[in-house]
Structure 1
Amino acid sequence: MRARAGKWSFVSDQRVQQLQRQVRVKEERIIELETENAILHLKLAEYQEVIGKSSREATKYYFLYNEKQHLQRSIHSTLIQLYQVIQKLKQDIKELHSSSLILVRNYQGQYQDCLSGIVAAIQRTQLYNETLQAYQSRAVLLEQSLQEINEQYQIEKQKRKLLHNSLVELKGNIRVHCRIRPLLPFDNELDDPVLQNSSLCEKVIHAVDDETVLVKCNRPGHPLINKTYNFERVYGPAESQRIVFEEMRPLLISLLDGYNVCVMAYGQTGSGKSYTMLGPYSKDEPALPSECHDDLGIIPRAAEELFRLISENPSRSPRVEVSIVEVYNNEIFDLLAKDSSTLVSGVKRDVITSREGKKELLQLTSESVSSAGEFMNLVTGGLQLRAKHPTWVHADSSRSHLVITATLTAAASPGSAASDQMPLKAPSCPSPPPSVRGERPRAARRASSPGPAPVGPAEPLRQAQARLQLVDLAGSECIGASGVTGLARRETSCINRSLAALADVLGALAEHRGHVPYRNSKLTHFLQDSIGGDAKLLVILCVSPCQKSLAETLQCLGFGTRARRVQRGQAKRRGFPASGKPR
């Protein structure tokens, strides 16, 4: 309304100014005519004076008189017209004045209305500001309360996790984590163009929170079913290698406290097991750690952390020995047993059970290392010899189970039980002729004895051992989906049978059966102490989020659920001096 009043005021002012200009023009015209009239009067006087001087010029003056009369009539007519124009202008001015008064009165009324509206709006704005301030104060209080509740929730959540981990440790359960890899370009690489436009590449696996996995089972011809699985930790696709390792880091402190530790990656081919365990080292030509430190997997990070922890307490520095084996086609091959004439390795070993019921691995080669660099140099060398074969599912598929074992040997703490200490001398076993993978003969280098020699003829210094096993299992896969034939088909069959044997062992342990079928597979026989013994075992389930991998994902999550139900009793220390660090 204020704008409309301003508009009316502007229009009325313009009209008044226009009429005033017209009046000024007319007044100027009147002045000009009056001036002209005065001049004519002067001329008339002159003419009259001339007539008075000479009568002889009467005729001439007669004509002048007629002209004068004609001019006077013309002037009179002009004056009458001018008078009429002036009267009309006066009337217009009166009308304009009246309309201006009306406009002014209307403008004043509108101005008062606008002013009243503005005052009312200001009052409402003040009320709104007061209300807003009250809401803002309340929001601040609510945010503070929410932050306090969230902090309390995080504290309680951490307490619950610690209590849960303590309960898991007391029960001896296997800790199971689940990692969902992100969608990758090869997930859309399907040979069938019809399937490329289908929903097989949709993401159906989701991390609800850091302990829950949601699976959307949307199969053709079946209703949509949502399944949830709970684990000790769930990693979403965006979570980094560092976060995965941070959850595993406390186990390294347990290792230095004398507990056996095993970390195992399980899942189908292409689900990210080797990336999780090795990172860039899983490739044929691994990059330097300094070039891709963010992508380093558990194994290189564990090596760095292990020697960092050892360096913090030089007085109790244990000796670290590394052995690397792979289980290929249900046979165990020592990847550190180098040929005397070539760099080819892969000497076949075997697992036997002594009369005391203890598992022994004959002639397993181990190398002493004193730094993370030496550790990873051995790992890199072993990876170059690991069996790999491209399939339709994965272009660089590992065809064997990789087991890296780091054995820590240190002086036993006083008062430790004899059963927790390592023997004074390693048991001697006859050396069978080595058998190697493939058709080319390979000479096996005699393995170094893992046991230390006595320190002297007096009472020997007892020593204790703790073992860290890092396992990158081969991926399960459907033979039809992988498109393998010949030797690769046999490899796939052996991989699936060994993983099925691992699931059978976990099932037997979970159900507390009298017989646990460890010997059904060389893999389970070799890992018997870690799976069914007193080691702290962490299984990392690696799953693909794609719809096309749903069956393998459900099988993998079912495997993890079965593993969580295993109760093996509390883990046992092996006489190491306590580190004093929280685990």
Structure 2
Amino acid sequence: MEAKLQEALLAADEARHKLIKEETERRILFNKYQELKGNIRVMCRVRPMLGQGEGEGAKITFPDDRTSAEIALQGAEETTAMGRVSRKNFNFEFDRVFAPAALNQDVFDEISQLVQSALDGYNVCIFCYGQTGSGKTHTMSSEDGMIPRATHMIYDTITKLKEKSWTYTMEGSFIEVYNEELNDLLTPHGRESDGKGKRLEIRHDEARKQTTVAHCKTVALDSADKVEAMLAQAQSNRSVAATKSNERSSRSHSVFILKLVGHNASTGERCEGTLNLVDLAGSERLKQSGAEGERMKETQSINKSLSCLGDVIEALGRGSGHVPYRNSKLTHLLQYSLGGNSKTLMFVMVSPLETHLKETLTSLRFATKVHNTHIGTAKATKKV
């Protein structure tokens, strides 16, 4: 009897070591695959029409059903000097294109392995870019958006990894960039609880290529309920105002920062990953936004920071020795997400409306510039 018990214990131990080995091999293979694909990827999502009252839809098609990587648009009518009316055709190709019928689940299925990379010790950044009303906040922060789906997936994965001797701690913070000021979305006044605390400061750890925001509130996220409560609090504190483009338009950039620390009791391995999920403010021209007074100042600030983002992408694409990260709070905060030590994904969000066609083309051209930019190879933060 004792011999059989020893055999069973030995077999169980061998099986556990096999699981640990398979998990290690999975991590290595996936992250090598991501490096071959490039550490910055671009995906396009076209939101559906929201009703008959929205107006006429733009002529948008998806030429390649097999790869789901192309989007084609017919431009606005143009009249030549001879009086002939014509329309230009525009084609764009990205890593993935989601048609209006796509659900948040379909989108998350495509990015879930990037979330896994954060558990593997990598810096990961996923951000949404596009004009107001194109579906950015729905994609990122709705009840079934990328943020709640990512955290639920992480909880499920952490539970399974316990069988392979991994334990994790997870903590989150939520930062807003509004008029070139950093606000803490987890406190009522944007700073410390009394509203008189120290200003939030961006600090970079050059050795580990990681960013922290000093003086912001950090919440230990040991249950899904805590995540949901944190998201609700952040949403209620975010700077929101009405514009012509959207009755409830986000007038700020928001950055959800999730820090993950894992430890394997069997191998002694330790990894530290960060997942940044970014909802950028709407990108539109002053004339189109109908901004006046304070709204005009906000729109100018938004456009300046998005322009700085474009400057950073352009400098990276040229291989410039100087990249102007510090020209805006947004690019300074996302320095390591943009500068090579991160697996980075950009969603370009597209409105289906004919009236938004100019803004749509501007967004798609910027996304193409990002898609053509090589930012380097991310490295995991691991210790043994």
Given the two structures, how large is their TM-score scaled by the length of structure 1?
A: 0.55
Q: Is the 8 A contact 1:412 1:576 kept in 2?
A: no
What's the counterpart of residue 59 of structure 2? Answer: 204
Q: Is the 8 A contact 2:78 2:87 kept in 1?
A: no
Superposition misfits of 4+ residues, deviation over 6 angstroms: 339-347, 354-358, 412-415
The structure 2 residue matched to 1:332, chosen from 154, 158, 182, is: 182
Q: Is the 8 A contact 2:73 2:89 kept in 1?
A: yes
Q: Secondary structure at the match of 1:575?
A: strand
Letter in 2 for 1:216: Q
Change (3 A) 1:542 1:343: farther
Q: Secondary structure at the match of 1:500?
A: helix
* Number of corresponding residues: 344
What's the counterpart of residue 302 of structure 1? Answer: 150
What's the counterpart of residue 220 of structure 1? Answer: 78
What's the counterpart of residue 246 of structure 2? Answer: 394
What's the counterpart of residue 372 of structure 1? Answer: 224
In 1, Cα distance between equivalents of 2:205 and 2:125: 23
Structure with bigger gyration radius: 1
Residue 533 of structure 1 and its aligned partner are, at CA, apart by 2.9
Change (3 A) 1:347 1:491: farther
Residue 571 of structure 1 and its aligned partner are, at CA, apart by 1.9
Residue 336 of structure 1 and its aligned partner are, at CA, apart by 2.2
Q: Secondary structure at the match of 1:561?
A: helix
Q: Is the 8 A contact 1:261 1:530 kept in 2?
A: yes
In 2, Cα distance between equivalents of 1:359 and 1:185: 42
Residue 166 of structure 1 and its aligned partner are, at CA, apart by 6.1
| Mapping of residues 185-204 of structure 1, within 5 Å | 185=51, 188=54, 201-204=56-59
Q: Is the 8 A contact 1:303 1:376 kept in 2?
A: no
Q: Is the 8 A contact 2:58 2:357 kept in 1?
A: no
Residue 204 of structure 1 and its aligned partner are, at CA, apart by 2.3
In 2, Cα distance between equivalents of 1:240 and 1:313: 28
In 2, Cα distance between equivalents of 1:359 and 1:306: 21
Residue 412 of structure 1 and its aligned partner are, at CA, apart by 7.1
Residue 368 of structure 1 and its aligned partner are, at CA, apart by 0.6
Please tell me whether residue 350 in structure 1 is matched to residue 201 in structure 2.
Answer: yes
What's the counterpart of residue 278 of structure 1? Answer: 141
Residue 555 of structure 1 and its aligned partner are, at CA, apart by 1.2
Show CA shifts across 1:389-412 (max 9, x none): 011110000011010011011237
In 1, Cα distance between equivalents of 2:340 and 2:351: 30
Residue 181 of structure 1 and its aligned partner are, at CA, apart by 0.8
What's the counterpart of residue 25 of structure 2? Answer: none
Q: Secondary structure at the match of 2:303?
A: helix
Residue 183 of structure 1 and its aligned partner are, at CA, apart by 1.8
Please tell me whether residue 244 in structure 1 is matched to residue 107 in structure 2.
Answer: yes
In 2, Cα distance between equivalents of 1:572 and 1:412: 19
Residue 202 of structure 1 and its aligned partner are, at CA, apart by 3.1
Letter in 2 for 1:319: T
Residue 354 of structure 1 and its aligned partner are, at CA, apart by 7.1
Q: Secondary structure at the match of 1:208?
A: coil
Residue 353 of structure 1 and its aligned partner are, at CA, apart by 5.4
In 2, Cα distance between equivalents of 1:485 and 1:575: 50
Residue 171 of structure 1 and its aligned partner are, at CA, apart by 6.5
| Mapping of residues 247-258 of structure 1, within 5 Å | 247-258=110-121
Q: Secondary structure at the match of 2:257?
A: strand
Q: Is the 8 A contact 1:266 1:475 kept in 2?
A: yes
What's the counterpart of residue 495 of structure 1? Answer: 302
Please tell me whether residue 539 in structure 1 is matched to residue 346 in structure 2.
Answer: yes
What's the counterpart of residue 316 of structure 1? Answer: 166
What's the counterpart of residue 446 of structure 1? Answer: none
What's the counterpart of residue 15 of structure 2? Answer: none
Change (3 A) 1:504 1:308: same
Q: Is the 8 A contact 1:334 1:347 kept in 2?
A: no
Q: Which consecutive unaligned segments of at least 5 residues does structure 1 have? A: 1-162, 190-200, 281-295, 416-460, 578-583
Q: Is the 8 A contact 2:167 2:264 kept in 1?
A: no
Change (3 A) 1:363 1:413: farther
Residue 462 of structure 1 and its aligned partner are, at CA, apart by 8.6
Show CA shifts across 1:512-534 (max 9, x none): 11111111110000000111131
The structure 1 residue matched to 2:35, chosen from 159, 169, 172, is: 169
Q: Is the 8 A contact 2:148 2:228 kept in 1?
A: yes
Change (3 A) 1:358 1:177: closer
What's the counterpart of residue 515 of structure 1? Answer: 322
In 1, Cα distance between equivalents of 2:206 and 2:338: 21
Residue 220 of structure 1 and its aligned partner are, at CA, apart by 3.2
> Over the residues paired in the alignment, what is the CA RMSD in angstroms?
2.9
Q: Is the 8 A contact 2:132 2:246 kept in 1?
A: yes
Which structure would you say has the larger RCO, counting Cα contacts within 8 Å and 6 or more residues apart? 2
| Mapping of residues 408-487 of structure 1, within 5 Å | 408-411=260-263, 463-487=270-294
In 2, Cα distance between equivalents of 1:345 and 1:395: 32
Letter in 2 for 1:350: E
Letter in 2 for 1:399: R
What's the counterpart of residue 20 of structure 2? Answer: none
Change (3 A) 1:347 1:307: farther
Q: Which consecutive unaligned segments of at least 5 residues does structure 2 have? A: 1-28, 81-85
Q: Is the 8 A contact 2:182 2:200 kept in 1?
A: yes
What's the counterpart of residue 553 of structure 1? Answer: 360
Q: Secondary structure at the match of 1:183?
A: coil
Normalized per residue, the structure richer in strand is 2
Show CA shifts across 1:221-280 (max 9, x none): 263211111111100001111101100111122121111111101100000000011124
What's the counterpart of residue 376 of structure 2? Answer: 569
Change (3 A) 1:391 1:186: farther
Q: Is the 8 A contact 2:192 2:198 kept in 1?
A: no
Normalized per residue, the structure richer in helix is 1
Q: Is the 8 A contact 2:47 2:99 kept in 1?
A: yes
In 1, Cα distance between equivalents of 2:53 and 2:203: 43
Q: Is the 8 A contact 1:338 1:345 kept in 2?
A: no
In 2, Cα distance between equivalents of 1:369 and 1:359: 19
Show CA shifts across 1:172-191 (max 9, x none): 441100001112238636xx
